[in-house]
């Protein structure tokens, strides 16, 4: 094919795609089967494919990605993943301080969080306790450092002046020793201090793959499918090699009715993932997660949060969990497991802290 013919074909196919004859343009490109032509139409084609990836239909998303696979043009993938990136550092909240004190296996926790700092801070925490206004407000308690405790104390004193119960402020240790409530139910200051895991390489989905609920579940599916099916593109390779943390977007939790959240098998390419949080897609009675077995391939996974409801499609004896040899935390809150099912999961993961 001459340069003139090449240019004419690229122009012709681009016009077909832009004019709405999408199928005709693709059919011609596949028939010509020329790498330079595919490269020449990549940008125009990516604009059209973007629209298909936003449609709330898994089959249409799959067909759009299959089209990219047939054309075998990496630059299309690069265009679509242009805004996807990774953070240099992020924090993931998890109740590790309680487990750090309870469990003797704390090396991983102390390496990945500020629990040592919290333990040190807890030696200098203060309780502010108020009985509130009878029949109007409940009793109230906070645990914090001295500066914050003083502010809380002042605000509660105002309520006391309006008829509320007495307010006290004292060191946590003293409160536990002297106050009736502290003696009966001792205050654990670590439970009132914020903690987080320190992570590098959290996935930022960019403009194309961030949306409002409930479209977000489809965008996540499209993103993971795209990266997984084209792992050798420059952008995909960078994300796969450096991504350690994937979390569903907060917007998903705002939807009253969510479709089934389909986890593509291709998520298994993220071999270096340490934290996978899928709880946001599992917050309504209509939501559920399929293809959970794909998680079993994430051998370096250390924290898995699939908190949700009865719609989650997995069985307690699934082999998925037993394959995750490095799993430190499995978070299954908002589930209604019978005790025998809980024991089954615990037996599969004897070295994992399971939070029900």
Last residue of a domain, one of 145, 169, 189: 189
Q: Are 335 and 222 in a shared domain? A: yes
Last residue of a domain, one of 80, 106, 133: 80
Phi-psi sector, 353: left (phi>0), alpha (psi -120 to 50), beta: beta
Range of the domain at 166: 118-189
Beta strands in 63-175 (DSSP E): 85-86, 90-92, 126-130, 140-144, 167-171
Residue 16's contacts (CB-CB under 8 Å, 6 or more residues apart) are: 22, 24, 25, 28
Q: Are 151 and 183 in a shared domain? A: yes
- Write the DSSP string, 255-307: -SS--EEE--GGGGG-TT--EEE-GGG--STT-EEE-GGGGGG-TT--EEE--
Q: Are 154 and 279 in a shared domain? A: no
CA atoms within 13 A on the CB side of 14: 14
Q: Are 302 and 317 in a shared domain? A: yes
- Position of tokens 């990774």? 86
- Of 215, 230, 270, the residue nearest 64 (C-alpha): 230
Using one digit for the tens of pLDDT, what is the confidence trace for 46-61? 998 999 998 989 899 9
As a dihedral over the C-alpha atoms of residue 26, residue 32, residue 33, residue 35, rounded to 10 degrees, the angle is -90
Q: Are 224 and 352 in a shared domain? A: yes
Asked if 274 and 303 touch (Cβ cutoff 8 Å), the reply is yes
Predicted local confidence at residue 147, as pLDDT: 93
CA atoms within 13 A on the CB side of 105: 7
Predicted local confidence at residue 249, as pLDDT: 60
Q: Are 104 and 203 in a shared domain? A: yes
Q: Are 108 and 149 in a shared domain? A: no
CA 44-50-54 angle, to 5 degrees, is 160
Q: Are 285 and 305 in a shared domain? A: yes
The reply to whether the predicted model has a pTM over 0.85 is: no
For 53-89, letters b (16+ CB in 10 Å) and e give bbeeebebbeebbebbeebebbbbbbbbbeebebeee
Predicted local confidence at residue 5, as pLDDT: 85
Residue 197, CA distances (Å) to 112, 248, 301 in order: 5, 17, 14
Positions in the chain whose pLDDT score sits under 50: 309
- Of 301, 304, 251, 303, the residue nearest 281 (C-alpha): 251
Q: Are 39 and 105 in a shared domain? A: no
Q: Are 67 and 35 in a shared domain? A: yes
Q: Are 219 and 331 in a shared domain? A: yes
Total domains in the chain come to 3
- Position of tokens 């089967």? 33
Q: Are 176 and 242 in a shared domain? A: no
Predicted local confidence at residue 173, as pLDDT: 93
Predicted local confidence at residue 133, as pLDDT: 58
Predicted local confidence at residue 245, as pLDDT: 92
Q: Please tell me the distance from the alpha carbon of residue 181 to that of residue 199, in angstroms, as a whole number.
A: 38
In CATH, what number is assigned to the domain containing residue 206? 3.80.10
């Amino acid at each position: 094919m001459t340069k003139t013919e090449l240019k004419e074909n690229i122009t012709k196919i681009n016009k077909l795609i832009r004019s709405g004859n999408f199928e005709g343009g693709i059919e011609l490109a596949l028939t010509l089967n020329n790498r330079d032509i595919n490269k020449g139409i990549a940008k125009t084609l990516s604009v059209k494919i973007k629209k298909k990836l936003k449609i709330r239909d898994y089959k249409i998303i799959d067909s759009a990605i299959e089209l990219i696979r047939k054309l075998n043009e990496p630059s299309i993938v690069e265009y679509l993943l242009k805004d996807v990136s990774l953070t240099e550092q992020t924090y993931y909240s998890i109740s590790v301080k309680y487990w750090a004190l309870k469990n003797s296996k704390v090396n991983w926790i102390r390496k990945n969080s500020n629990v040592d700092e919290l333990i040190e801070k807890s030696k200098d925490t203060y309780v502010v306790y108020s009985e509130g206004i009878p029949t109007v407000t409940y009793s109230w308690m906070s645990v914090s450092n001295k500066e914050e405790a003083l502010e809380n104390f002042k605000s509660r004193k105002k309520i006391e002046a309006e008829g509320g119960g007495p307010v006290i402020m004292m060191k946590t240790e003293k409160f536990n020793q002297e106050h009736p409530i502290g003696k009966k139910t001792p205050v654990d200051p670590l439970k009132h201090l914020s903690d987080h895991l320190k992570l590098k390489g959290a996935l930022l989905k960019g403009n194309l793959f961030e949306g409002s609920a409930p479209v977000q579940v489809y965008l996540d599916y499209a993103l993971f499918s795209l990266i997984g099916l084209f792992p050798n593109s420059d952008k995909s390779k960078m994300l796969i090699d450096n991504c350690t943390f994937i979390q569903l977007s907060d917007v998903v939790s705002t939807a009253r009715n969510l479709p089934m959240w389909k986890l593509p098998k291709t998520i298994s390419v993220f071999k270096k993932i340490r934290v996978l949080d899928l709880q946001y897609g599992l917050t309504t009675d209509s939501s559920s997660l399929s293809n959970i077995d794909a998680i079993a391939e994430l051998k370096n996974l250390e924290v898995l949060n699939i908190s949700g409801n009865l719609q989650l499609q997995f069985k307690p004896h699934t082999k998925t969990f037993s394959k995750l040899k490095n799993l430190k935390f499995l978070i299954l809150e908002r589930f209604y497991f019978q005790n025998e099912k809980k024991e089954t999961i615990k037996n599969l993961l004897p070295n994992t802290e399971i939070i029900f």
